[in-house]
Amino acid sequence: MTAWEITGLVVQYLGNFLSVVLILAILSGRKEARATLGWVLLVLFLPYLGALAYLVFGRPLGRGRPPDDAAPPTACPLPPTGLPDAVGRTTRLTSRPPVTCRALELLPGAAEKYSRLEQDLGAARTRIVVAYYVFRRDRTGRRFLELLARKAEEGVETCLLYDGWGAFGLSVGRFLEPYRRRGLQVQVFHPVSDPFQMSRINYRNHRKIVAIDGRIGYTGSTNIGNEYLGRRHRFGPWKDMHVRLEGMAAWALEGVFLRDWQAAGGRALAPSPHPEDPGDTWVHVIPSGPGHGEESLYALLFAQFAAARSRIEILTPYLVPEHGLISALRIAARQGVRVRVLVPGRSNHPLVAAAGRSYYDELIEGGVELYETPGMLHAKGVLVDGAWAMVGSANLDNRSFHLNYEINLATSDPAFCDAYAYTFAQWLEGAKPIGAQALAARSLARRLLEGTCRTLSPVL
């Protein structure tokens, strides 16, 4: 036997041993069944590559992150009796009571959001905290960095937290150094370049939070970059959604940021003083992610879908739901609830989009109506019976339910729910319905791609 043959046998047996050990480790975990199958297949067929991927992306995140406080702010009044059932359901399933706000606004588009945000940042007096998953170093990103650095020079405490994966470009070279020298404080959440945190990079901070002086807040799905303004022609027109509010809910958003900031290695920061006018509109500020105990976001959506009586209107760019949510939507549709889901016709993540298309058949067979927008839809939102709306950073996919740190805002405020319904109707006008006949005409190759992506979607 030659040396090459001996080496080949050693590599083969080592790969087999590695596969067995890792498969046992995967099966002993508490992952969702589809995620377990995806990792097992990857390790089985590509043992060395699969082992590396699992060690970096697949291991459970250890404990130690400061939990998000579920207690109501001390200056916030207790919720009144007589709030809609959906509000009480949200409180029970998230273990977070509603808080008050005022000036609650839905901002359907990056241009409007950026304009309002620049005005509010320019008027900041004491503190600005900013957290984004994606923060580009393009013209839009530089404009906001310049504004943040200028406020820091004016004496405003200014903190920027960005995700090490989603905003990787900010970590390249010494791009942020000129802004740091001007007083901008920066932390990276799970940096890719740190070998001691490589096992954490699959757990991404997908939140979008801005809090100004503890009294003005922004959250939603719109990141910072040129593409959110529709300047990437390959994505076509870009549709997105954000929320601006004032009062106690803004103070609560700042609290979520402060715990993320500390978890990323930043010094502990005292919360801003309570806002003088906490507001009288009730909202739920809902953080979710590893370390939050039971996966409350999934449970909340399941319960709200099950309680629907007339209509469910969903906006999601990445439709890769677990079987339970598919069943909840199908059952609702069969009981006479009109279920409509708006997804993008062009996606910035084609493999995830392919995984999502593999679910279209069973959703349509169950009576769910699916529509594709002519460009990229990045908004994430749910409206149930026109009376309970949730908008934020979470997609209807495995990553948002089990891996990412997300932030969502839920409310039964009539004006906000009406604004969501109006925006949904506007975007639906230019969308194309997805029919069973078109799905049946897909080629075998396309079906195989979609099925493969569906199986591996927990790994993507």
Domain boundary among 281, 306, 331: 281
- Is 372 in the same domain as 439? yes
Count of the separate structural domains present in the chain: 3
Residue 118 lies in a domain: yes
418 in catalytic set: no
- Is 261 in the same domain as 355? no
pLDDT for position 60: 57
- Is 382 in the same domain as 343? yes
**Domain extent for 323:** 296-456
Residue 346 lies in a domain: yes
- Is 110 in the same domain as 244? yes
- Is 301 in the same domain as 258? no
- Is 364 in the same domain as 401? yes
Q: What is the mean pLDDT of the chain?
A: 86
Catalytic residue among 213, 240, 260, 397: 213
- Is 112 in the same domain as 198? yes
Q: Residue 25 pLDDT more than 70?
A: no
Residue 74 lies in a domain: no
Residue 443 lies in a domain: yes
Q: Residue 147 pLDDT more than 60?
A: yes
206 in catalytic set: yes
CATH code for position 205 = 3.30.870.10
Catalytic residue among 113, 151, 380, 402: 380
Catalytic residue among 113, 190, 208, 239: 208
Catalytic residue among 113, 151, 190, 206: 206
- Is 441 in the same domain as 347? yes
Residue 217 lies in a domain: yes
Q: Who wins on pLDDT, 39 or 158? A: 158
The rounded distance, in Å, linking the Cα atoms of 389 and 383 is 4
Q: Residue 324 pLDDT more than 50?
A: yes
pLDDT for position 283: 97
Residue 67 lies in a domain: no
Model pLDDT for residues 56-72, shown as the tens digit of each residue: 555 555 544 545 655 55
Model pLDDT for residues 155-200, shown as the tens digit of each residue: 999 999 999 999 999 999 999 999 999 999 999 999 987 766 665 6
pLDDT for position 64: 45
pLDDT for position 460: 59
pLDDT band at 258 (very low <50, low <70, confident <90, very high): very high
380 in catalytic set: yes
Residue 289 lies in a domain: no
pLDDT for position 390: 98
213 in catalytic set: yes
- Is 342 in the same domain as 243? no
- Is 161 in the same domain as 300? no
Residue 92 lies in a domain: no
- Is 114 in the same domain as 165? yes
Catalytic residue among 151, 242, 378, 402: 378
- Is 202 in the same domain as 277? yes
